[in-house]
Amino acid sequence: PGLTHFDETGQAHMVDVGSKKETHRIAIATGTIRMKPETLAIIQSGTAKKGDVLGIARVAAIMGAKRTSDLIPLCHPLALTRVIIDFQTDPEKSAVTCTAQVETFGKTGVEMEALAAVQIGLLTIYDMCKAVDRGMVMSDISILEKHGGRSGNWTSTKNAS
Amino acid sequence: PGLTHFDETGQAHMVDVGSKKETHRIAIATGTIRMKPETLAIIQSGTAKKGDVLGIARVAAIMGAKRTSDLIPLCHPLALTRVIIDFQTDPEKSAVTCTAQVETFGKTGVEMEALAAVQIGLLTIYDMCKAVDRGMVMSDISILEKHGGRSGNWTSTKNAS
Amino acid sequence: PGLTHFDETGQAHMVDVGSKKETHRIAIATGTIRMKPETLAIIQSGTAKKGDVLGIARVAAIMGAKRTSDLIPLCHPLALTRVIIDFQTDPEKSAVTCTAQVETFGKTGVEMEALAAVQIGLLTIYDMCKAVDRGMVMSDISILEKHGGRSGNWTSTKNAS
Amino acid sequence: PGLTHFDETGQAHMVDVGSKKETHRIAIATGTIRMKPETLAIIQSGTAKKGDVLGIARVAAIMGAKRTSDLIPLCHPLALTRVIIDFQTDPEKSAVTCTAQVETFGKTGVEMEALAAVQIGLLTIYDMCKAVDRGMVMSDISILEKHGGRSGNWTSTKNAS
Amino acid sequence: PGLTHFDETGQAHMVDVGSKKETHRIAIATGTIRMKPETLAIIQSGTAKKGDVLGIARVAAIMGAKRTSDLIPLCHPLALTRVIIDFQTDPEKSAVTCTAQVETFGKTGVEMEALAAVQIGLLTIYDMCKAVDRGMVMSDISILEKHGGRSGNWTSTKNAS
Amino acid sequence: PGLTHFDETGQAHMVDVGSKKETHRIAIATGTIRMKPETLAIIQSGTAKKGDVLGIARVAAIMGAKRTSDLIPLCHPLALTRVIIDFQTDPEKSAVTCTAQVETFGKTGVEMEALAAVQIGLLTIYDMCKAVDRGMVMSDISILEKHGGRSGNWTSTKNAS
């Protein structure tokens, strides 16, 4: 089967979703940024007392979700009804994992919005810590699950690299 | 050492770069999206003849680089002088690798712009192929090298996970 | 009672409005900019014949209302159905008062959009007159009334300082 | 003297700053939001332990400063080199005061950016607390001082109403 | 009859569409860019094998449609459900014609979005070819037909100059 | 000669302007919207007394110039130093002509910004008058002259169709 974002002559278009039903849509995405242990230590101490890296990354992730259709060429604009961003620090892997849950009641899914939120959240962590750790790596950005729409529920079988 | 994005009381600010020198800045970032072999085959055939996924992702990546300071809260606005996006398909790993080179002549570096370009480029590939492969994973998004500014040249020692 | 924009662990989120009813929402906000009498005289003469400060501020206020969810981190995006901006000049107080009425048919209220419109409208007046009067002061920006939604009608008891 | 934003026939334009010198520009703006004592108490407790209203408002204020020329019709775009946002809680007046210091090295001043940062910062506080206190009022938004440019230093004589 | 975008005192507003019905809306716009024959030859060869001017212009046109309400002061924001961009090269007139079909299911029409898409599409062609042909001219940008809404179907009687 | 926006393999990039000199750049663009005589009559009466179509279109054109690099994929961001918009009504042709003069002091020209300003200005006229005249046509959008940069001065030989 071909890609729906192209017509039969190969030209890109924003696909017609006019006849799709408005249903409750949920998407959960995740992703990780690995760093030096001492960088993670700064983030962990900062969150508790001052220099709240994750608090700022959370705001950026939420705002990023709202900008998705501005950034992704063929993505439909959507009025989001809920955005939740969670960060988990993992000292063993020396990493922070970001999880974004995005919801709407509309004609298209919100996977792109959830992934964009994760990306912008991780990128904001990179920005705030790059002065002490330029070698941080963002990985395993993917969809964990989605609900709603014609294709119904979907859950990832592999969500770690 | 602490994070420069916070003052001594832990409050976030956009750091003062007024006294920094305007130098030629270059940053190169990279990242990968892994997918099913049949998804990669569609991308590869499309690029050559019709349904140009990578051509559209390239445009999105370039435009994303220009939006970086709008997306990342404490990032300084910068007038970019050059953006180059390269995609390499890797049938062995069943993946596409995006590399972004961004340049400016200014007071701050362009690492964030290069990383944002890679993220948006990969995310656009995800968008266009998600109808056939929802389990794609974006990984190894990191800086390969940077040049210019007070810290001069820097090259990543590990740029693959 | 706590603030709804934070979950039980204190993390910010965009609150879930998915189950809220779509009702007709109206919000009216107001605010004032005080200035030198001679500045007000310029505005008043300009409106009538040339140099239409208030006409330009009105356009900026309407456009500002449409950008609200881009500016306020946890604000839900909304498709506005009506925006009315009114300016009243008050020679006695040497001030201009801006009133914004914003409406939608949706799941959340439009108080933020009405307040943003007032702020951007007043700020545009400041911009256009600052060459002759840098000491202008914007005050008393608040909601006058709102209608629709679960909390129904609400009218301010004090809308002047 | 007329307003510089209009030509001799009364038409608005973005004034020519091409021949202006690039100098170090600083502007400091301030503004206040008054609220119920119990609302202020929530903000104060939240900042210390969870539900960081002021942390989020600070991020919004910084990002708002960067969007100024997009919002104010005749405002010149500027690459800011520094943005500092400070919040002071005042239990006596039951208010929060926001102060924004913005800097650049350019051809025009940054008063508009400082005022926009204050407005967006206060508006974000309103957004996060409106569920418990719809009657909050934003006042006394004005420039405290500016430096740089042809007009040099300027300090407000009255910065409280 | 007067213009609906002004109230009875001549002040601009975003007109009330709250009571309008949500219907399926379609608008088709068109426009042309004339150029030197050798410029058209470059575009035609590029599309087939490399340097895909029209592919990039198509992406820009689609993204431009989504930004319309940000650009046009009194235009209502709309969640588009479909955008199709078509380019036809006409060697006889030495021109490229862009046609945009935009759809939504909403309270207002999408003529503005279709026209904006055509404009941005043509302007992107200009940008990419201006190094070899600065004298290109964009013309005949107009609505071909529209459907839906209270006024129902409408078809242009003259859509070429 | 090929198009500079593509590399030797045909891939689009934002071309390197880092080594270009910063010079004073000026571009003047023009364009026309034709309409029914009675529509023009409304615009002409409105400008003089109420319902200022051209005043609002002027603001939109100026703001549009500032958004150009956000809209045109490979366009470099530029800090404009001057924007002048002029409208001329022509009862004989039953048309309004928009002329935009844009200036900067930078490494690239401002033709795109001048053309975008004209397009957005004309499109705003269309928006405000479309309720009474859906058949308006925008034409002859082109560059009249440019100055500055390596190619120096350039003047159009044909600026009417």
* Of F35, F54, F66, residue with least CA distance to F139: F35
- The SS3 of residue D86 is strand
* Probe site for chain E from A5, A6, A13 (most E CB atoms < 10 A): A13
Q: Which residue has the higher pLDDT, F14 or A48?
A: F14
Q: What is the pLDDT averaged over residues C105-121?
A: 97
What does residue F101 show for φ and ψ, rounded to 5 degrees?
Answer: -115, 125
Supply the range of the domain harboring residue A27. 23-147
- Residue B68 falls within a domain, yes or no? yes
Question: Is-contact A122 B122, C-beta < 8 A?
Answer: no
Long-range contacts: C36-42, Cβ < 8 Å, 24+?
C36/C94, C36/C132, C36/C133, C36/C135, C37/C91, C37/C94, C38/C132, C38/C133, C39/C94, C39/C129, C39/C132, C39/C133, C39/C136, C40/C89, C40/C91, C40/C94, C40/C95, C40/C96, C42/C129, C42/C132, C42/D2, C42/D3
**Is the model's pLDDT at F31 over the cut of 80?**
yes
Burial (Cβ within 10 Å: 0-12, 13-18, ≥19) of residue A135: middle
**Is the model's pLDDT at E159 over the cut of 50?**
no
Q: What is the pLDDT averaged over residues A134-155?
A: 95
In whole angstroms, what is the distance from residue C112 CA to residue D127 CA?
7
**pLDDT at B113 (0 to 100):** 98
In whole angstroms, what is the distance from residue C94 CA to residue E83 CA?
50
- In this prediction, what percent of chain B has a pLDDT beyond 70? 94
**pLDDT at F154 (0 to 100):** 95
- Residue B161 falls within a domain, yes or no? no
What does residue A85 show for φ and ψ, rounded to 5 degrees?
Answer: -120, 130
**Is the model's pLDDT at B50 over the cut of 60?**
no
Question: Is-contact A150 A127, C-beta < 8 A?
Answer: no
**Is the model's pLDDT at C47 over the cut of 80?**
no
- Residue F51 falls within a domain, yes or no? yes
| Inter-chain CB pairs, A–D, below 8 Å | 12
Residue whose tokens read 């017509």: A7
Question: Over the stretch B87-137, which tens digit does the pLDDT of each residue have?
Answer: 999 999 999 999 999 999 999 999 999 999 999 999 999 999 999 999 999
Burial (Cβ within 10 Å: 0-12, 13-18, ≥19) of residue B104: buried
Q: How many domains does chain A have?
A: 1
**pLDDT at D159 (0 to 100):** 47
Q: Helix, strand, coil % (nearest 5) of chain D?
A: 30, 30, 40
E75 DSSP 8-state letter: P
CB atoms within 10 A of CB D135: 16
Contacts of F73 in chain E (CB under 8 A): 56, 59-60, 124
Who contacts A52 (Cβ-Cβ below 8 Å, separation ≥6)? A46, B10, B12, D52, D55
The neighbouring-strand residues paired with A28 are: A101, A145
Output Rg (C-alpha) for chain A, integer angstroms.
17
**pLDDT at B10 (0 to 100):** 84
- Residue B96 falls within a domain, yes or no? yes
D81–B13 CB contact, under 8 Å: no
**pLDDT at D47 (0 to 100):** 58
Structure ipTM? 0.95
CB atoms within 10 A of CB A123: 26
Residue whose tokens read 């002549």: B105
A129 DSSP 8-state letter: H
In whole angstroms, what is the distance from residue F111 CA to residue E134 CA?
9
Question: Over the stretch E9-54, which tens digit does the pLDDT of each residue have?
Answer: 888 999 999 999 999 999 999 999 999 999 999 999 875 445 789 9
Helix (H) or strand (E) holding E26: strand E23-34
Question: Over the stretch D97-154, which tens digit does the pLDDT of each residue have?
Answer: 999 999 999 999 999 999 999 999 999 999 999 999 999 999 999 999 999 998 889 9
Helices and strands (DSSP H and E) totals, chain C: 4, 5
**pLDDT at D10 (0 to 100):** 84
Question: Over the stretch A17-54, which tens digit does the pLDDT of each residue have?
Answer: 999 999 999 999 999 999 999 999 999 987 544 578 99
B55–E60 CB contact, under 8 Å: no
- In this prediction, what percent of chain E has a pLDDT beyond 70? 94
Question: Over the stretch D65-78, which tens digit does the pLDDT of each residue have?
Answer: 999 999 999 999 99
The neighbouring-strand residues paired with D83 are: B14, D102
- Residue E160 falls within a domain, yes or no? no
Q: Which residue has the higher pLDDT, F50 or C25?
A: C25
Chains that touch C (3 or more CB pairs under 8 A): A, D, E, F
Question: Over the stretch F70-124, which tens digit does the pLDDT of each residue have?
Answer: 999 999 999 999 999 999 999 999 999 999 999 999 999 999 999 999 999 999 9
We report the CATH number of the domain holding residue D136 as: 3.30.70.640
**pLDDT at F45 (0 to 100):** 85
Q: What is the pLDDT averaged over residues C69-89?
A: 96
* Probe site for chain E from A4, A9, A14 (most E CB atoms < 10 A): A14
**pLDDT at B154 (0 to 100):** 94
Chain D's closest residue to B107, CA to CA, is D81
In whole angstroms, what is the distance from residue D127 CA to residue C73 CA?
9
**pLDDT at F107 (0 to 100):** 94
Q: Helix, strand, coil % (nearest 5) of chain C?
A: 30, 30, 40
Query: How far off is chain A from D50, nearest CA to CA, in Å?
Result: 10
**pLDDT at D4 (0 to 100):** 87
Query: How far off is chain C from D136, nearest CA to CA, in Å?
Result: 6
Residue A42 to residues A53, B112, D30, Cα–Cα distance (Å)? 9, 20, 32
In whole angstroms, what is the distance from residue D17 CA to residue D8 CA?
17
Chain D's closest residue to F106, CA to CA, is D18
**pLDDT at F150 (0 to 100):** 87
**pLDDT at D160 (0 to 100):** 43
**Is the model's pLDDT at D158 over the cut of 90?**
no
Question: Over the stretch A71-81, which tens digit does the pLDDT of each residue have?
Answer: 999 999 999 99
Chain E's closest residue to C78, CA to CA, is E77
Q: Smallest Cβ distance to C85: which of E13, E78, E107?
A: E13
**pLDDT at C48 (0 to 100):** 47
Largest CA distance in chain E: 58
First to last CA, chain E: 27
B85–F13 CB contact, under 8 Å: yes
- AA letter at B46: G
Who contacts E149 (Cβ-Cβ below 8 Å, separation ≥6)? E20, E23, E25, E108, E109
* Of F148, F144, F154, F137, residue with least CA distance to F117: F144
What does residue F142 show for φ and ψ, rounded to 5 degrees?
Answer: -160, 170
- Residue A7 falls within a domain, yes or no? no
Question: Over the stretch F126-141, which tens digit does the pLDDT of each residue have?
Answer: 999 999 999 999 999 9
**pLDDT at E158 (0 to 100):** 65
**pLDDT at F151 (0 to 100):** 85
**Is the model's pLDDT at A161 over the cut of 50?**
no
Q: Smallest Cβ distance to D3: which of C10, C42, C111?
A: C42
In whole angstroms, what is the distance from residue F136 CA to residue F94 CA?
10
Query: Structure tokens of E145?
Result: 């037909």
Query: How far off is chain F from D20, nearest CA to CA, in Å?
Result: 10
Question: Over the stretch C136-154, which tens digit does the pLDDT of each residue have?
Answer: 999 999 999 999 998 889 9
**pLDDT at B33 (0 to 100):** 97
Q: Average per-residue pLDDT in chain D?
A: 92
- Could you write out the DSSP letters of every residue in F82-94? EEEEEEEEETTTT
* Probe site for chain D from A59, A125, A127 (most D CB atoms < 10 A): A59
**pLDDT at C67 (0 to 100):** 97
**pLDDT at F51 (0 to 100):** 72
